[in-house]
Amino acid sequence: MLKVNCLEWSDVVENRRSIRKYKDTPVTDDQIIKILEAARVAPSAMHKQPWHFIIVKDAETRQKVAGGQGFASVAPVIIVALGDSEASPSWWQNDVGIAFEHVMLAAANEGLGTCWMGSTRRDAEIRKLLDIPERMKVVAITPLGVPDEKPGLKQRKSLEEIVSWGRYGAKK
């Protein structure tokens, strides 16, 4: 069963940041399992669950997966999110996105940092490195570790700028 830490939901959502500096502190397998459990229970179209996650701990492999984003290889773990394009041809990208956001929020709830990194331009390279079958597509990767920074809140658009009521452009 998925158990939530004592952080308030709004705190988790509002305070999650993209972390690009990590401490050398190990992430436990129990923490990783809790985070993956959050992804496992994510909703998906027709309940296809077209995702798979590769947990990369080996330092040399992390460095290769991180590619030009060296900060990611410093974290003790990298999670690679894959989508099964055969299991859900129309919705795999959306579904993996939902599950991966569950990963991000669960990690924040555990006091761990992440940084969503798209890797579509490196799909073939990562596929070969991690022996990924052809039907599985690399959607994103994230480092996972104890943050060694606390980025401030970035300016966000107001609700009025991003929400319409009833039709595009209509105000409440």
* Residue 31 belongs to domain with CATH number: 3.40.109.10
* 18 vs 38: CA distance, rounded Å: 19
Render pLDDT for 10-49 as a digit per residue (tens, 0 to 9). Answer: 788 788 889 999 999 999 999 999 999 999 999 999 999 9
| Tokens (6 digits) for 88 | 């859900």
Tell me, yes or no, whether 143 lies in a domain.
Answer: yes
Render pLDDT for 104-133 as a digit per residue (tens, 0 to 9). Answer: 999 999 999 999 998 668 889 999 999 999
Q: How many domains does the chain have?
A: 1
Tell me, yes or no, whether 117 lies in a domain.
Answer: yes
pTM: 0.91
Distance of CA 43 to the CA centre of its chain: 15
Tell me, yes or no, whether 24 lies in a domain.
Answer: yes
Q: How many CB atoms lie within 10 A of CB 43?
A: 10
Three-class DSSP labels, the chain: CCCCCCCCHHHHHHHCCECCCECCCCCCHHHHHHHHHHHHCCCCHHHCCCEEEEEECCHHHHHHHHCCCHHHHHCCEEEEEEEECCCCCCCHHHHHHHHHHHHHHHHHHCCCEECCEECHHHHHHHHHHCCCCCCEEEEEEEEEECECCCCCCCCCCCHHHHCCCCCCCCCC
Amino acid at 154: K
Domain that holds residue 114: 10-147
Tell me, yes or no, whether 169 lies in a domain.
Answer: no
Render pLDDT for 53-98 as a digit per residue (tens, 0 to 9). Answer: 999 999 999 999 999 898 999 999 999 999 999 999 999 999 999 9
* 135 vs 114: CA distance, rounded Å: 26
Whether 5 shows a pLDDT value over 70: the answer reads no
Tell me, yes or no, whether 165 lies in a domain.
Answer: no
Tell me, yes or no, whether 158 lies in a domain.
Answer: no
* 31 vs 149: CA distance, rounded Å: 20
Tell me, yes or no, whether 4 lies in a domain.
Answer: no
